[in-house]
């Protein structure tokens, strides 16, 4: 069985270049290539979960981990506030089918 690697898995595996802002054993944070705000980060789990619809109870840890990271990332970028967005499914505007949290701030 062959399974196509997601764009973000290729970034995680350094097959495609990107600006990596933060990385740990569970997730990676990169600059969005087409920023919609002064700061536009993507927080991406290393596990290639396609959309929020595919989440299972075993993903609670990584999803909680990423939520806890958001305010730390914002503070590191000197943001006093920020917006988050998770596009889900084609109908929800999702383009890359590997879960990611957008963190936006000016
Ligand atoms: P979404 O519509 O939620 O799936 O968002 C996908 C995001 O990935 C968009 O904001 C794109 O600008 C961003 N993106 C696409 N390719 C890359 C890349 N090579 N490096 C960084 N961000 C990317």
Strand-pairing partners, residue 65, are none
What pLDDT score was predicted for residue 2? 56
Q: Does any domain span residue 40?
A: yes
30 contacts 102 by C-beta, under 8 angstroms: no
The catalytic residues are: 100
Tell me the whole-structure pTM to 2 decimals. 0.97
Q: Residue 29: is its pLDDT beyond 70?
A: yes
What's the number of domains the chain is made of?
Answer: 1
CATH code for the domain in which residue 69 is found? 3.30.428.10
Q: Which numbered atom of ligand 1 lies nearest the CA of 32?
A: 22
Domain membership of residue 57 (yes or no) is: yes
What is the span of the domain harbouring residue 20?
A: 7-105
Helices (H), 31-101: 60-76
Residue 36 lies in a domain: yes
Nearest to 32 by CA among 103, 106, 98: 103
Tell me if residue 39 falls in helix, strand or coil: strand
Query: Is 2 a member of any domain?
Result: no
Ligand 1 contacts (CB < 6 A) are 7, 16, 18, 30, 32-34, 42, 87, 93-96
Residue 15 in any domain: the answer is: yes
pLDDT at 4 over 80: yes
d(CA 44, CA 24): 11
What sign does the CA torsion over 77, 26, 85, 68 have? Answer: negative
Distance (angstroms) between ligand 1 centre and the Cα of 30 equals 10
pLDDT band (50, 70, 90) for residue 74: very high
Tokens of 99: 């879960």
pLDDT confidence of residue 64: 98
Is position 1 within any domain?
no
What percent of the chain lies above the pLDDT cut of 90?
Answer: 97
């Amino acid at each position: 069985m062959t399974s196509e690697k997601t764009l973000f898995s290729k970034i995680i595996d350094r097959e495609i270049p990107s600006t990596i802002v933060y990385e740990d054993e569970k997730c990676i944070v990169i600059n969005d290539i087409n920023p919609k705000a002064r700061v536009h980060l993507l927080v991406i789990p290393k596990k290639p979960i396609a959309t929020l619809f595919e989440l299972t109870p075993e993903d609670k840890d990584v999803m909680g981990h990423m939520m806890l990271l958001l305010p730390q990332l914002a503070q590191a970028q000197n943001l006093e506030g920020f917006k988050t967005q998770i596009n889900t499914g084609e109908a929800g505007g999702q383009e890359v089918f590997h879960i990611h949290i957008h963190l936006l701030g000016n």
